[in-house]
Amino acid sequence: MKTIEAISNGRVNLIGEHTDYNDGWVLPTAIPQATRVRLTPREDMMVIGRTALRGGDERYEIGSERARAVWIDYVQGATKILHEEGHPIKGFEIEVASTVPTGSGLSSSAALEVATLKALREAYALKLDDPELARIGQRIENEFVGARVGIMDQMACALARFGEALFLDTKSLEFERIKIPMDELGLIVINSGVVHSNSGGDYNTRRAECEKACAQLGIPSLRHTSIEEVESSRNLGPTEKKRARHVVTENARVHAAVAALKKGDLATLGRLFYESHASMRDDYAVSVQEIDLLVELCREQTGVFGARLTGGGFGGSIVALAEKGRGGAVAREVVARYGAKVSTRATILVSE
């Protein structure tokens, strides 16, 4: 049997957090860290997985998938959905290797889903385009793993490119590729060392709070309201008002960030980063002290345009923009100062 190889890079979301499951807009880009799979079809319905990831080697039979809270769940979710939809798949052996750190807020699970689905598409000649793979990846998270995520991560892992931001409408899935002026700025991504999980209760709670806000406003999603309506509403509870305010203002920041990128206005882009972080910290309540510290340490550095929490929150990573040539020095200084203040060890993932 021919062995298929597939790769999916992780992503960092430049701006547009917790907007995707609210039918909003996002702006991710690809990072060098990636998940690679090697898949060899079998004649039976057994799936044999090998990896150094948490949980180690696993096996199961297609048609008998059962969540185990380990890496193979993302593969199981893929085969369960494809099999139930009537796609002609059989068993296979799959080897998985990844440099996308788990719990970093950089789409380690989506990268695994998309790489697996790409390999299955090639192995069994499945007539599925990249957006359809992304939709299946989202269903894996929602229906099998239990994380009520939007579709940004899977779309980014399937479509994002280096040096470009993917301006994505998560309702229509229409997207535009926006050039990032990499000759003028350095991209910094630092993992705080505080592990986050999209399948945890807090993430799902935020989605439920947004749905409650929509019910109170009488709208299908927070895409369909304005900041004026949110602020003046007498129906919104205090918590729901904060959550809605973040989503509505974050959508506006995504559009403003796209405009700033197109103009090369890096100062405005950086200001939007800081405003986004404050909104996630104060209105959406998804930041933690370690993340706030990293953002403030970035703010203190010369040549930094802006910094913010990236990903679902409750830990994970920050993304920052610095003047070209300053990224490495800034990242090293921030990590050193962070290490002197907290016991958690931060890691530089991208520094230019």
Segment 85-124, tens digit of pLDDT: 999 999 999 999 999 988 888 889 999 999 999 999 999 9
For the chain, where are the alpha helices, taking DSSP H only? 72-84, 108-123, 130-139, 152-159, 201-217, 227-232, 238-263, 266-282, 289-299, 327-341
pLDDT of residue 197: 64
Q: Which residues are 49's β-sheet partners?
A: 58, 94
pLDDT tens, residue by residue, 175-191? 999 999 999 999 999 99
Torsion of CA 119, 121, 122, 127, to 10 degrees: -170
Tokens of 91: 């068993």
Rounded Cα distance between 222 and 73, Å, is 31
pLDDT of residue 352: 78
Torsion of CA 217, 221, 227, 230, to 10 degrees: 20
Torsion of CA 248, 251, 255, 257, to 10 degrees: 110
The per-residue pLDDT of the chain, averaged, comes to: 95
pLDDT of residue 198: 60
Tokens of 181: 């002026």
Tell me what the mean pLDDT of segment 58-83 comes to.
Answer: 96
Find where tokens 């972080």 sit: 277
Specify the amino acid at residue 51. Answer: T
Tell me what the mean pLDDT of segment 205-220 comes to.
Answer: 97
Q: 23, 153, 169, 183: which is the annotated catalytic residue?
A: 153
Among candidates 226, 250, 245, which has minimal Cα distance to 310? Answer: 250
% of residues, the chain, pLDDT over 90? 92
Phi, psi for 191 (deg, rounded to 5) = -85, 125
Rounded Cα distance between 219 and 229, Å, is 11
Please, what's the b/e burial string for 189-219 (b: 16 or more CB within 10 A of its CB; e: otherwise)? bbbbbbbbbbbeeebeebbebbbbbbebbee
Tell me what the mean pLDDT of segment 256-278 comes to.
Answer: 98
Active site residue 57: no
Q: Over 70: is that where the pLDDT of 199 sits?
A: no
Where does residue 166 fall: left (phi above 0), alpha (psi -120 to 50 degrees), or beta otherwise?
Answer: beta
Tell me what the mean pLDDT of segment 128-147 comes to.
Answer: 96
Specify the amino acid at residue 78. Answer: A
The burial class, CB within 10 Å (0-12 / 13-18 / 19+), for 178 is: middle
pLDDT of residue 203: 86
- Residue 53 banded pLDDT, cuts 50, 70, 90: confident
Tokens of 282: 């104060």
Specify the amino acid at residue 18. Answer: H
Tell me what the mean pLDDT of segment 325-334 comes to.
Answer: 97
